[in-house]
Amino acid sequence: MTHPLITRLTTEFDYPVLETMADVATFTERPGFHAIFVPGDVTRNLETPDVAVILPELRQAFQGRFDCAVAADSVESELREATKVRKTPSVIFYREDQMIGGLPKVRDWSEYIERITQILALPMAAE
């Protein structure tokens, strides 16, 4: 079951839905920073709608420094395992195909700002 606030991300904000790990790779390998929203089970996790509302506000606060996508149910488990960000809802950040950080669960606004600032400032890992 999809929550209306998650649907809003894909309809109003045009965030792509990532159905496979190939979709994840295509989305994250482009230049720049990328955030993937991993909703989890919306029927069991009451924080999921909150993060769905917060994410566009964070993108705006960071003046579009990262683009956003939504992980579909079909890819969530594999994505959580690959990134070791297992709690949901979460936002997983990438820079040019490298996972650079994850923020599980709902946070205070100030913590989001602080942590995302830190994540976006991380140097690229050596190839």
Tokens of 106: 């709902």
In-domain check, residue 70: yes
For residue 88, give its domain range.
4-120
Per-residue pLDDT tens over the stretch 94-108: 998 899 999 999 999
In this structure, what CATH number is given to the domain that contains residue 24?
3.40.30.10
Total of domains in the chain? 1
pLDDT at 108: 95
Q: Return d(Cα 43, Cα 29) in angstroms, integer.
A: 32
pLDDT, one tens digit per residue, over 35-90 is 999 999 988 889 999 999 999 999 999 999 999 999 999 999 999 999 999 999 99
- The closest of 30, 1, 43, 35 to 15, measured between CA atoms, is 35
Please indicate, yes or no, if residue 127 is contained in any of the structural domains. no
33-38 sheet: strands from edge to edge: 17-18, 66-71, 33-38, 90-95, 98-104
Q: What's this model's pTM, rounded to 2 decimal places?
A: 0.94
The answer as to whether 9 is a domain residue is yes
**pLDDT at position 2, please?**
80
Residue 4 neighbours by CB under 8 Å, 6+ apart? none
Q: Is residue 126 part of a domain?
A: no
Phi/psi at 47 (5° precision): -85, -15
- Residue 88 covered by a domain: yes
**101 occurs within a structural domain:** yes
| pLDDT above 90: residue 123 | no
Please report whether residue 36 resides in a domain.
yes
pLDDT exceeds 80 at position 15: yes
- Reported confidence tier of residue 9, pLDDT bands at 50, 70, 90: very high
**Is 19 contained in some domain?**
yes
- The whole-number pLDDT of residue 122 equals 83
Q: Is residue 1 pLDDT above 60, yes or no?
A: no
Q: Within 65-123, where are the H helices?
A: 73-83, 109-121
> Residue 25 CB: number of other CB atoms within 10 A?
12
